[in-house]
Structure 1
């Protein structure tokens, strides 16, 4: 799917031939001030979010965040959620690793060379963003714990996670809607999962009015966030994206969210089921979409505009009944006023859910009647292992066998 971006530097001049230039040569030609933020000498250290940029203000005095932003680049360059173990505690890649990442971006941009129709002149803008952004040098979205890996689940959380049911669990049969997760049913991607890049539909539009900030997500959901000292909902009122309250701390919009729909993926009661806080459609997160969520789940987001075309988005998620400690992710949103939102044509109770149930029942009936042999291999088994790979690490290892 072609994406055009206001950030691209080479615009309509970069062709597939230019994209083949060696990454090392490109790095050598960069002006000294090309990087948005200087990397620390110690690649294990994460600098504070820069606050030297001052955004314009709205007519009512709030800092202006309104624009179309996208996190498509993060998905396309394959900077994954959990840090690959090969990086250790490094927040940033080395120069050699970055050269490989930049070369991969150039190859991706080469798909948008001169031609007709879907190959019309232009680039995706990926190379320019990787080269000029701080995030283009990062090893993962997750920054805390220090190893960039999710903390262990609690014993209760682990038990519910392993017993959970969804459309992605190997060996599972389908008999009712409670055998599917909320994303299978087009209800919710999960929260904070909805704020992380997926395989597609990665646009975010911000609208502002006095007392409110609105985050319109390209896939499944719009968040209306009141600004100011307002109480949260009563504890017995929950929502798929929770109850958010915002406040300004200097130039940063801080959003605290509680009352996220609690539950698990084990219950046969549809009303007692929750979304997983992480969705496996984000690269390198735990599989199956069955991580539970307790009533203590809470997230704190910090949204800071760091330049005309960049926002640093940081989220800390805590749920002491499920995770042994909080975790924090930090992403960079790229402004792209030419980014087109595509309809996410999905609805609850869609035909696919009914068909899955019908096919599963028929399959078991045929096996029981002896008219069909049981499948020797469950093709969902491939989801049991994380198969996303960061090209900055070198050649991709063999994919898991289906």
Structure 2
């Protein structure tokens, strides 16, 4: 699963980051998405974003939420960046160590890419952290069940989140990097923009033909998306109709809330912008609004790089496989042993 382009990408990003350090003065701002680039057009006259856009190059030490000591800074200082690069290099060395020792462990399982200067993926609020929950958001989060939660007992599928059950990683979680299966590929046809995601083998189908939305009573794991070309290089996507529930999703990327219990309500709305700013670059931004769960909206930004050679592998996990049963049997056995009896 390890990308053969990782070393080259590491070098390029490191050099680019080093140059940026020398020139950057305001660490509280990111450069805006430029509208200067004019991408080629599809045969039917839309900006052509087709191709491979894996986000494996973003998987590393950059957290979802900013560390409090970084305040309102979007970028690391030169010294902080050097420390992160050193930490990433140590993580990357695990792969080589396992190869040398003839073993296979976390170094092969958890991929790591080059360090970058971002203090967090969250860009708003200004502190780079998730907003506070509402009272209802706190209640829903406390009711969630997940294998990420310490001390969790398992007795039925209701004790697992949708990612545990290999149903979906959900949104906005699916748009963030993880330690594996970071493939993204864009397909386009007249009136349709489709985003294939390697994680949980899902494809987001985004209609751009102006059709109306579906009834509000119909909820879906990934919601229902409608897109519009708002500029010569930008697709704006609005997604509603999310399936609510205390086990709907968790974010599950570096720096997520502990235990990853982030609920979604039927009132959630996600607005995304896919800005193509170069032949091999997309600036991806979104704003998440869920007034039932969060006290205010929050936004994030990630920089995508084209890699048409990235191979999307089978995500060998499906609902109803043996893992849910194994968790339940093991949990019952542990409790029975602690009570001095036998499991049922």
SS in 1 for 2:139: helix
* Counterpart among 63, 83, 99 of residue 100 in structure 1: 83
1:219 Cα offset (Å) = 0.9
Q: Mapping of 1:172-191 within 5 angstroms? A: 172-191=152-171
Cα distance in structure 1, aligned partners of 2:188 and 2:300: 24
1:235: which partner in 2? 216
2:135: which partner in 1? 155
2:107: which partner in 1? none
Cα distance in structure 2, aligned partners of 1:105 and 1:369: 46
C-alpha contact 2:288 2:299 (8 A) present in aligned 1: yes
Q: Mapping of 1:78-93 within 5 angstroms? A: 78-93=61-76
Gaps of 5+ in 2: 104-110
SS in 1 for 2:264: coil
**Deviations 1:183-219 (CA, angstroms, capped at 9, x unpaired):** 1110011211111111110010001111111100011
Moved more, 303-312 or 314-323: 303-312
**Deviations 1:283-336 (CA, angstroms, capped at 9, x unpaired):** 111133432221110100100111121111101101001000000000011111
* Counterpart among 310, 316, 319 of residue 281 in structure 2: 310
1:264 Cα offset (Å) = 1.4
* Counterpart among 164, 169, 172 of residue 144 in structure 2: 164
Taking structure 2 as the reference length, the TM-score comes to 0.86
* Counterpart among 284, 295, 299 of residue 328 in structure 1: 299
Taking structure 1 as the reference length, the TM-score comes to 0.74
2:199: which partner in 1? 219
Cα distance in structure 1, aligned partners of 2:214 and 2:76: 43
* Counterpart among 333, 340, 343 of residue 311 in structure 2: 340
* 1:366 is aligned to 2:326: no
Cα distance in structure 2, aligned partners of 1:204 and 1:248: 20
2:243: which partner in 1? 261
* Counterpart among 33, 46, 59 of residue 49 in structure 1: 33
* Counterpart among 221, 234, 258 of residue 287 in structure 1: 258
Which protein is bigger by CA-based radius of gyration? 1
The change in CA–CA distance for 1:60 and 1:39 in structure 2 (over 3 A counts) is farther
Computed over aligned residues only, the root mean square deviation of the Cα atoms, in angstroms, reads: 3.1
Cα distance in structure 1, aligned partners of 2:254 and 2:226: 29
Cα distance in structure 2, aligned partners of 1:354 and 1:112: 35
1:105 Cα offset (Å) = 5.4
The change in CA–CA distance for 1:189 and 1:125 in structure 2 (over 3 A counts) is closer
The change in CA–CA distance for 1:310 and 1:236 in structure 2 (over 3 A counts) is same
The change in CA–CA distance for 1:211 and 1:38 in structure 2 (over 3 A counts) is farther
Cα distance in structure 2, aligned partners of 1:360 and 1:4: 40
1:97 Cα offset (Å) = 2.0
